[in-house]
Amino acid sequence: MRIAVYPGSFDPLTYGHLDIIRRASRLFDRLIVSVADNAAKKPVFTAEERVAMIREAILGIPRTSADSFSGLLVDHLRRNKATILIRGLRVVSDMDYEFQLASFNRKLCREAETVFLMPDDSHMYTASSMVKELARLGASVKAFVPPGVWKRLRLQYRR
C-alpha cells in the first residue's frame, strides 16, 4: 500500500492546496493531509481548526484523511507507515526551499520519497499568506478558499 503525506501549515487551506490534494489522491492508495502544529509560525487558526476545515473540504475525495502533527515530519511518516511526501510547487522561487527540505528529509529517512506536484494554473499564485492579508483588510477571499474556510476567515476578521 502506497501511503502519502501532504504536510503543511494550511493556514488557511486554499483551492491550490485542494487541487494538490485531489491530484495526489488519484496517485496513491491513501493520502493523509497533515497540519504541522508549529506555534512558532503564529497561525491564525489552531491546528484543530485547520484539521476541521480540511476534513470538511475533502469530503468526497476518496482515500483521503486529515490530521495534525508536531515534531519531525519523518517521525510522522514512520508513525503512519508512509513513504511518500507530497509537496506543492507554485512558482520557481519555491524550488530552492523545497529541494533543501527534500534533501534533509531523505537524509533523515532514506525510505521517504518526495513527490512535487504543481497546482492548476488558476491557483499558481494563490498563497495562504496573501489570502490572510486580504481577509484581514476586509477583501472577499471567496475565490481563493473553500466555503467553510471563507466563513471562518470572515468570522476571524469581522469588520
Active site residues: 17, 41, 90, 128
CA distance 78 to 72: 10
Of how many residues is the chain composed?
Answer: 159
**Residue closest to 102 by CA, chosen among 81, 91, 88, 121:** 88
